[in-house]
Amino acid sequence: MDIRTAAPEGFQAVWALEKYVQANVDSTLLHLVKLRASMTNGCAFCVDMHSRDALAEGEDSRRLFAVATWREAPFFTDQERAALALTDEVTELGPHGVSDEVWDRAATFWTEKELADLLLAIATINVWNRTSVATHKQPPMHA
């Protein structure tokens, strides 16, 4: 199924949210968040797309590979680590939601508005991941 054609108004609503987060979240941070959530959700289409997009914008390939092991890798700032931790907890919502520790750490780096925008970015990539995984959307064989 192609969500874009099956439910064009729904697709446009998610696309509008995507455009909002692109305009309001730092591009480098947004790429890391999108890649991490996509890896966690097992979305091959999104991992491929966001890796290629980040590389095209000049991101270091070592950092992109290390997103899978961000806790151990030395390549990320404290702010990026806070965003990746929040991404993990929002993406894998457990019975207790996001821990106070992760939320409070993120709140030290961003204003309330910026944190809300980051949360919307994480939620948006999770929507894309879930629709792509559910419909078996595949990355192109050739970039």
Q: What is the pLDDT of residues 83-124, one digit of tens each?
A: 999 999 999 998 899 999 999 999 999 999 999 999 999 999
Confirm if 84 and 32 have CB atoms less than 8 A apart. yes
The answer as to whether 142 is a domain residue is no
In a domain, 124, yes or no: yes
Residue 1: inside a domain? no
In a domain, 3, yes or no: no
Q: What angle do CA 143, 51, 8 make, to 5 degrees?
A: 75
Q: How far apart are CA 99 and CA 82, in angstroms?
A: 12
Rounded to whole angstroms, the Cα distance separating 91 from 106 reads 15
Domain span at 101: 10-134
Q: What is the CATH number of the domain that holds 99?
A: 1.20.1290.10
Residue 70 in tokens: 């961000």
Q: Is residue 141 part of a domain?
A: no
Q: For 37, what's the count of Cα atoms within 13 Å in the CB-facing half-sphere?
A: 30
- The answer to whether residue 113 sits within a structural domain is yes
Count structural domains, the chain. Answer: 1
pLDDT tens string, the chain, 143 residues long: the values are 899 999 999 999 999 999 999 999 999 999 999 999 999 999 999 999 999 999 999 999 999 999 999 999 999 999 999 999 999 999 999 889 999 999 999 999 999 999 999 999 999 999 999 999 999 988 888 76
The first and second tokens of residue 29, run together, are 């941070």
